[in-house]
Amino acid sequence: MNEDTIIRKLRRRASLIGDDCAVIQPPANEDLLFTTDFSIEGVHFRLESTPEEIGYRAVARSLSDIAAMGGKPLYCLISIALAPWTNESWIDGFYRGVHSMLRKTKTALAGGDISHANQFVCDVMVYGSVARGKALLRSGARPGDKIYVSGPLGGWSHKPVVVPRLDVGRKLIGKATACMDISDGLALDLHRLCVASCVAAELETVPLLKGANIEQALHDGEDYELLYTARPGVRVPGIPIGTITKGKPGALKYRGKALSPTGYDHTQQRSRPD
């Protein structure tokens, strides 16, 4: 299986592929959104997962960033580096997972790159759009805002299926004051939102996934729920978990005690624990 064979297979399902660049007409009166996320063997996934799950999740991770801005996904570029062990049936399974997520979210595969490495590496770039000037940013939270999450938390080990919250994100346009997705754990990501908004936060209740404990909900990554804030009295979907406060930017409290903003750091040379 060589490069041109893989590309020929992809073109059967993705007619845009075939030139040096994808050529796309931009939507009128919208802002463009761009995001990119790695999925690396031993870091973001283990080979005990099926290739379908790995492909599905690789795309879901980038779509979650589009959801966090209140956007609509349009096109994606997928780059893969094959590992010494990858064979045709694994790659076919991987792309079945990719296409399944793309179909669900009406996102078109427009290109990518193919190479090889010691471990399987995938990078998914998604391009989407949002009404001009309406993107949900991390930086708009103000003291007094209520803090919400789009669903219960518990980290990667309790989250077998990632569903990018595109529907929730779009409903928050014009309502949420700040929004992001939880990829590295509630504590670390809420800290980032607070730093960007120059505010502090106090958490009261954190909804847990079945079987998860509060430590996992606070500090594990890969939840891919949305984390957002809204003025008190503004009705938004989701579960309220606390309040934005004045204070040192990024300082967090959980039930009155200081909460450390620790979570998953992608630069560290370790895998997620089993």
Site string for a second copy, 71-90 (x = CB under 8 A): x---x-x-x-xx-x------
Assess contact for 254 and 222: CB atoms under 8 A.
no
Interface with a second copy, residue 69, by CB under 8 A = yes
SS (HEC) of 94-162: HHHHHHHHHHHCCCEEEECCEEECCCCEEEEEEEEEEECCCCCCCCCCCCCCEEEECCCECCHHHCCCC
Q: Which of 17, 37, 101, 209 binds a second copy (CB under 8 A)?
A: 37
Q: If binding means CB under 8 A, how many residues of this protein chain bind a second copy?
A: 68
Q: Which of 12, 23, 233, 235 binds a second copy (CB under 8 A)?
A: 23
Q: Which one-letter amino acid corresponds to residue 224? A: Y
Nearer to a second copy, 44 or 99 (CB): 44
- From 37-45, 159-167, 216-224, 233-241, span contacting a second copy (CB under 8 A): 37-45
Interface with a second copy, residue 204, by CB under 8 A = no
Interface with a second copy, residue 155, by CB under 8 A = no
Subset of residues 205 to 264 that bind a second copy, contact rule: CB under 8 A: none
Assess contact for 226 and 181: CB atoms under 8 A.
yes
Nearest alpha-carbon partner for 56 in 110, 95, 14: 95
Interface with a second copy, residue 148, by CB under 8 A = no
Nearer to a second copy, 235 or 269 (CB): 269
142 CB burial (10 A radius; 0-12, 13-18, 19+): middle
Assess contact for 98 and 210: CB atoms under 8 A.
no
Residue 120's alpha-carbon distances to 7, 41, 47, 83, 237, in angstroms, are 17, 5, 10, 5, 38
Q: What are the tokens at 236?
A: 């938004």
Q: Which of 21, 87, 233, 274 binds a second copy (CB under 8 A)?
A: 21
Nearer to a second copy, 117 or 215 (CB): 117
Interface with a second copy, residue 130, by CB under 8 A = yes
Nearer to a second copy, 75 or 156 (CB): 75
Interface with a second copy, residue 174, by CB under 8 A = no
Helix (H, G, I), strand (E, B) or coil at 29: coil
**What is the closest distance, in whole angstroms, from the C-beta atom of residue 211 to a second copy in the complex?**
27
**What is the closest distance, in whole angstroms, from the C-beta atom of residue 117 to a second copy in the complex?**
5
Interface with a second copy, residue 36, by CB under 8 A = yes
